[in-house]
Amino acid sequence: MKGWNYRIIKHIERNKLHEKNKEVIPEFYVWYNLHEVFYGEDDGICCISSDPINAHGETVEELRSDIDMMLIAFEKPVLDYNELLDNLENG
């Protein structure tokens, strides 16, 4: 692996309750979260964390550094979780 960073990932999930009450319940849930994204030698994405990431550190300074790295994710394009999974499984 060449490196990693945090990225904002868009999640879209079908709402199973939508069929019972289409007028009130939306068909899809959409939410955003931070994930770790890992890059291969060709700079392409080779894997992502399956679960969203929380800021952490063994000291306050390490926590601040982690949060600073997370803030950089807001400067990059949002990635689509389902597209990433398709690409990783098929490519």
For residues 58 and 45, give the distance between their C-alpha atoms in angstroms, rounded to a whole number: 28
SS3 sequence of 26-67: CCEEEEEEEEEEEECCCCCEEEECCCCCCCCCCCHHHHHHHH
Q: How many domains does the chain have?
A: 1
Predicted structure pTM score: 0.80
Find the mean pLDDT for residues 2-9. 96
Name 10's Cβ contacts closer than 8 Å, sequence gap at least 6: 30, 31, 32, 78, 79, 80, 81
For residues 57 and 51, give the distance between their C-alpha atoms in angstroms, rounded to a whole number: 18
For residues 7 and 10, give the distance between their C-alpha atoms in angstroms, rounded to a whole number: 10
Q: What is the pLDDT of residues 21-41, one digit of tens each?
A: 666 666 778 999 999 999 998
Q: What is the pLDDT of residues 57-76, one digit of tens each?
A: 999 999 999 999 999 999 99
**Could you list the residue range(s) of the whole structural domain that residue 13 is in?**
3-90
